[in-house]
């Protein structure tokens, strides 16, 4: 069990508005409820940014709710806030402090759209607030699931609730009308990236009724974290260090993500399996249409289309879509630029006359 340290937040509670909308979590802002995480999953790169163990202490800002209330008055009511960072908002500390619940109460009163990323079915305890938010704007719950196999999950995240409970929570949220998604983050080479594991995970996610699934690859930002990953691998099976050196490089040539060739191959396989289950690889447009900032909505539509274009080899279209998405989010896109996109009719409808220098 972690030590809880009550503290006061001296800086802002919300992160700065993002320069571009987050295509995975639909968000313009992020909010961390706690500092530190009792789950302490060994693959989490939160370990890389601390000198002390990531799960040793959890700092609780007793003035967080007041800070959030103040800062919400300074942001747009249709900008989506992601309650997601390096710590879980429903880790065990939540049962004592209920900071996430208090923040969601604020969001419900204001109708502030939000996404919650968690590994805990305890999010169901706040269903009443999620329903209130979703009635006024949008509330999405995403669960991190790196594998559905109980044995593998116990080796990777033994302090987090079992994946089966998360899948059951998805079904419960769907029955209540709350949009849900799954984040397979991270995809770990030679661990949960095999065709078999991917197939079983995608099938379980689809069967639970999730609206979409996203994924990203294991991030190794430093040699210190690389050592932790190597220790994790030895607990799972026999993995020669050369396996990861081939994908991530070593020394001065080391990169935080596996090489592009590996990612491209896995992307295609994951997309193939998602398509076979009719499981979207990003939040469907219908899920957030008309519920968030129009610039965010149009930008997400472009980015989500670009994600599929990139995986399927349409690099030029993907680049066009991502570049245009950034211009749209920043309010700098012109009608002429929008017309270059095959999505122009939808973009025009979303943005109306709100285009730089020209009227649609």
Q: What is the pLDDT of residues 92-125, one digit of tens each?
A: 999 999 999 999 999 999 999 999 999 999 999 9
Q: Tell me the C-alpha distance between 32 and 82, whole Å.
A: 9
Same domain, 77 and 225: yes
Please state, in angstroms and as integers, the Cα–Cα distance from residue 159 to each residue in 101, 225, 234, 329, 356, following that order.
22, 19, 18, 38, 50
pLDDT profile of the chain (360 residues), mean per 10? 90 95 97 92 80 79 97 97 91 97 98 98 98 98 96 92 98 98 96 95 98 97 87 80 85 92 97 98 98 97 98 96 97 94 96 62
Cis omega before residue 186 (within 30°)? yes
Domain harbouring 130, CATH code:
3.20.20.70
Q: Which pLDDT value is given to residue 355?
A: 62
Number of domains observed in the structure of the chain: 2
- Which range marks the domain in which residue 330 is found? 303-351
Q: What is the pLDDT of residues 304-341, one digit of tens each?
A: 999 999 999 999 999 999 999 999 999 999 999 999 99
**Number of residues in the chain:** 360
91-96: Cβ within 8 A, 24+ apart: 91/34, 91/37, 91/38, 91/39, 91/58, 91/120, 92/1, 92/2, 92/38, 93/2, 93/4, 93/34, 93/38, 93/58, 93/60, 94/33, 94/34, 94/120, 94/122, 95/122, 96/4
pTM of the full structure: 0.94
Same domain, 56 and 189: yes
For residue 268, the SS3 value is helix
Same domain, 65 and 162: yes
Q: What is the CA radius of gyration of the chain?
A: 20
Q: Tell me the C-alpha distance between 212 and 175, whole Å.
A: 16
Same domain, 118 and 44: yes
How many Cβ atoms are within 10 Å of 349's Cβ, its own excluded? 12
Range list of β-strands (E), 170-315: 180-187, 212-217
Same domain, 193 and 329: no
Which among 265, 292, 319 is the end of a domain?
292
């Amino acid at each position: 069990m972690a030590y809880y340290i009550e503290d006061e937040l001296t800086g802002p509670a919300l992160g700065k508005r993002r320069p571009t909308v987050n295509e995975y979590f639909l968000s313009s802002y992020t909010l961390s409820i706690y500092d530190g995480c009792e789950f302490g999953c060994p693959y989490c790169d939160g370990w890389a940014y601390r000198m002390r163990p990531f799960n040793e202490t959890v700092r609780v800002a007793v003035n967080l709710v007041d800070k959030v209330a103040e800062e919400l008055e300074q942001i747009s009511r249709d900008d989506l806030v992601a309650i997601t960072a390096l710590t879980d908002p429903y880790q065990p500390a939540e049962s004592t402090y209920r900071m996430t619940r208090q923040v969601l109460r604020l969001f419900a009163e204001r109708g502030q759209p939000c996404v919650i990323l968690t590994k805990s079915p305890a999010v169901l305890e706040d269903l009443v607030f999620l329903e209130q938010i979703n009635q006024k704007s949008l509330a999405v719950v995403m669960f991190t699931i790196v594998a559905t196999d109980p044995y593998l999950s116990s080796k990777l995240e033994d302090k987090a609730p079992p994946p089966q409970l998360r899948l059951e929570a998805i079904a419960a949220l769907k029955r209540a009308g709350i949009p849900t998604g799954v984040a397979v983050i991270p995809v770990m080479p030679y661990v949960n990236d095999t065709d078999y594991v991917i197939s079983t995970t995608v099938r379980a996610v689809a069967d639970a009724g999730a609206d979409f699934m996203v994924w990203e690859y294991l991030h190794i930002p430093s040699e210190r974290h690389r050592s932790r990953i190597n220790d994790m691998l030895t607990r799972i099976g026999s993995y020669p260090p050369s396996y990861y050196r081939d994908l991530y490089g070593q020394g001065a040539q080391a990169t935080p993500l596996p090489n592009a060739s590996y990612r491209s191959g896995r992307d295609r396989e994951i997309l193939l399996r998602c398509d076979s289950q009719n499981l979207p690889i990003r939040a469907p447009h219908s899920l957030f249409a008309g519920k968030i900032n129009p610039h965010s909505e149009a930008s997400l539509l472009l980015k989500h289309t670009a994600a599929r274009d990139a995986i399927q080899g349409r690099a030029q279209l993907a680049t066009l879509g991502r570049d245009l998405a950034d211009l749209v989010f920043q309010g700098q896109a012109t009608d002429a630029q929008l017309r270059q996109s095959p999505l122009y009719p939808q973009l025009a409808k979303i943005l109306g006359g709100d285009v730089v220098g020209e009227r649609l």
